[in-house]
Structure 1
Amino acid sequence: MEIALIGVGKIARDQHVPAIAASADWDLVATLSHEGTVDGVPAFTDLDELLQHCPGIGAVSLCVPPGARFSYAEAALKAGRHVMLEKPPSVTLAECHALERLARAHDVALFATWHSREAAMVSAAQSWLRDKPLRRLRIIWKEDVRRWHPGQDWVWEPGGLGVFDPGINALSILTEILPDAFHVSTAMLDIPENRQTPIAAALAFHHPAGAEVTAEFDWREAGPQRWDIIAETDAGTLALTHGGARLAIDGVPQSNATEVGEYPRLYAKMARLAAARAVDFDLSPLLHTADAFLRGERRSTAVFHW
């Protein structure tokens, strides 16, 4: 199927373009962006013009910053195109619900992707935790924003999520691997004096069985980068590290049987959804993020400059 890529920034160049190029399901025939292009692919800056010049396009993949996703997705769905969305699918839950209603009304596929759920060992962690009584779970998600989001000012604007841009990846894994429902009970948000979104956050969750579940997100980590989830159960301790790429049980590394990356798996799933005109639109990671902002106590911290 012919597909158009909307937004050609860092994540598109690093992940989406190679995944589409390697896929037997998709043919990238157009891009729409105000900041980048893909060699050999026709480039546009207006969606109506793109669809007019490329009427065979069956799907669009949206990689623009969250604040711009709704308007593009709305237009594409109304035009009868399948839509794939980078995380988070939009800025607000209300916008997301509106997109789902549109997709169902126009009988097209809609996919809210959570790429970290496709990390190599997430499924194995989910299977291991399924029948284990949980005592304690800690998320430690610490990275250097200057390294991973260089010069991207949109992350600091309303709707940009701040440290929850990577933090929502951890929440997407957590909502995948825990068998029980949980919700945010407290949150502390550290917001630079000259920015609109947090540079760090500490969360605590209510777990129905009384397990202690916490998360620590920090964008100020200049040392070793950490994307770890540590779960202590009655049957042992699980360590899901490197953003879900590695798994150890009681310190014993578990084997990784897959060599397929996160984004190739996402595009393969999108192909299946498009064929079935199905909707896969889980909003639980965004729900927890929104609750963190609603529950969060704001604490002013030092100014941030690139």
Structure 2
Amino acid sequence: MDIALIGIGKIARDAHVPAIAASPDWDLAATVSRQGRVEGVQDYPDLDTLFAQRPDIRVVSLCLPPVPRFAYAVQALSAGRHVMLEKPPGATLAEVHALEALARAHRVSLFATWHSREAAGVAAAKSWLAGRALRSLRVVWKEDVRRWHPGQDWIWEPGGMGVFDPGINALSIVTEILPVPIHVSSAVLEVPENRQTPIAATLEFFHPAGAKVSAVFDWRHEGVQSWTIEAETDAGQMRLTKGGAHLSVDGVEGMDSADPTLDGEYPRLYAKFATLIQRGGSNVDLAPLRLVADAHVLGRRVAAAPFTW
């Protein structure tokens, strides 16, 4: 199938373009971007021009930031195109509910993606936790914002999510591997004095069986980056590292991936998207975004030092 990629920024170049190029299901037929380009692929100034000149392209993948993405998604779905959404699927829950209703009305597929769920160790971790009694689960997600989002001021604006931009990746894994739903019981959000979104956050969760579940997110971490989820159960300990790419159980090594952030994740997403379209279905799981929304509602805000690039 021909597909158009909307928004050619860092994540599109690093993950989407290579995944599409390597896929037997897709051909990158067009792009729409104000700045980025993909060599050898026709670029269009906007969706109206793309749809008018290329009515044969029935699928679009949106790699824009959350706030502007909604209008593009509405336009694409209203034009009868299947739509894939980069994470998070929207700036608000209500936006994504509206997109889901629009997709149903136009009988097209909508795919709200969570790339970290496709990391190499996640499926095995989910299988291992099933049937075991959880005692505790702790997320430690610490990275350097200057390394992963250099100069991207939109992440500090309302809707940009701040440290929850990577933090929601961890929450997408947690909500995938736990056999029962959890919800936020308390949160502390550290917000730089000169910014609108948090640079760090600490969350506590309610677990139906009383397990202690917590998460620490920090965007000020230099040196070795830390993306770890540790679980203790009645039948041993499990540890996911490298963003879910590496799994160990009771200290015994399991799956590993050479590239902890991209290897296999986006190819698997695009394969799932092709299957969704072929089956005429959608996949819009909002569990990770609900947890972030609840953290903002319940979170106690404390001032952090001003942030500058």
TM range (shorter): over 0.9
Counterparts in 2 of 1:63-74, with a 5 A limit? Answer: 63-74=63-74
Per the TM alignment, residue 224 of structure 1 is displaced from its structure 2 partner at its CA by: 1.5
Structure 1 position 305 matched with structure 2 position 308: yes
AA partner of residue 265 (structure 1): R
Secondary structure in 1 matching 2:58: strand
Q: Match for residue 47 of structure 2? A: 47
Per the TM alignment, residue 24 of structure 1 is displaced from its structure 2 partner at its CA by: 1.1
Distance 1:213 1:190 in 2: 20
Q: Match for residue 128 of structure 1? A: 128
Query: Is contact 2:122–2:245 with CA below 8 Å preserved after alignment?
Result: yes
Query: Is contact 1:187–1:297 with CA below 8 Å preserved after alignment?
Result: yes
Query: Is contact 1:4–1:60 with CA below 8 Å preserved after alignment?
Result: yes
Counterparts in 2 of 1:260-279, with a 5 A limit? Answer: 261-279=264-282
Normalising by structure 2, we get a TM-score of 0.97
Bigger drift between 113-122 and 251-260 goes to: 251-260
Deviations 1:143-189 (A, max 9, x none): 00000110111100000000000000000000000001110000000
Structure 1 position 108 matched with structure 2 position 108: yes
Query: Is contact 1:118–1:266 with CA below 8 Å preserved after alignment?
Result: yes
Per the TM alignment, residue 257 of structure 1 is displaced from its structure 2 partner at its CA by: 9.6
Residue from 268, 292, 300 that aligns with 2:295: 292
AA partner of residue 301 (structure 2): R
Per the TM alignment, residue 35 of structure 1 is displaced from its structure 2 partner at its CA by: 1.8
Percent identical pairs in the alignment equals 66
Query: Is contact 1:134–1:233 with CA below 8 Å preserved after alignment?
Result: yes
Secondary structure in 2 matching 1:71: helix
Secondary structure in 2 matching 1:117: helix
Q: Match for residue 197 of structure 1? A: 197
Distance 2:158 2:53 in 1: 34
Distance 2:257 2:62 in 1: 30
Query: Is contact 1:120–1:258 with CA below 8 Å preserved after alignment?
Result: no
Query: Is contact 2:143–2:219 with CA below 8 Å preserved after alignment?
Result: yes
Per the TM alignment, residue 223 of structure 1 is displaced from its structure 2 partner at its CA by: 2.2
Query: Is contact 2:33–2:45 with CA below 8 Å preserved after alignment?
Result: yes
Counterparts in 2 of 1:226-241, with a 5 A limit? Answer: 226-241=226-241
Counterparts in 2 of 1:115-194, with a 5 A limit? Answer: 115-194=115-194
Per the TM alignment, residue 277 of structure 1 is displaced from its structure 2 partner at its CA by: 1.8
AA partner of residue 140 (structure 1): V
Distance 1:275 1:205 in 2: 38
Secondary structure in 2 matching 1:269: helix
Q: Match for residue 77 of structure 2? A: 77
> What is the aligned-residue RMSD (CA, Å)?
1.3
Query: Is contact 2:132–2:233 with CA below 8 Å preserved after alignment?
Result: yes
- Unmatched tracts of structure 1, length 5 or more: none
AA partner of residue 11 (structure 1): I
Instruction: Give the length in aligned residue pairs.
Output: 306
- Unmatched tracts of structure 2, length 5 or more: none
Query: Is contact 1:138–1:231 with CA below 8 Å preserved after alignment?
Result: yes
Distance 1:288 1:89 in 2: 14
Deviations 1:197-217 (A, max 9, x none): 000000000001000000000
Distance 2:90 2:103 in 1: 15
Q: Match for residue 4 of structure 1? A: 4
CA 1:255–1:198 in structure 2 vs 1: closer, same or farther (change >3 Å)?
A: closer
Query: Is contact 2:4–2:31 with CA below 8 Å preserved after alignment?
Result: yes
Query: Is contact 1:116–1:243 with CA below 8 Å preserved after alignment?
Result: yes
Bigger drift between 21-30 and 165-174 goes to: 21-30
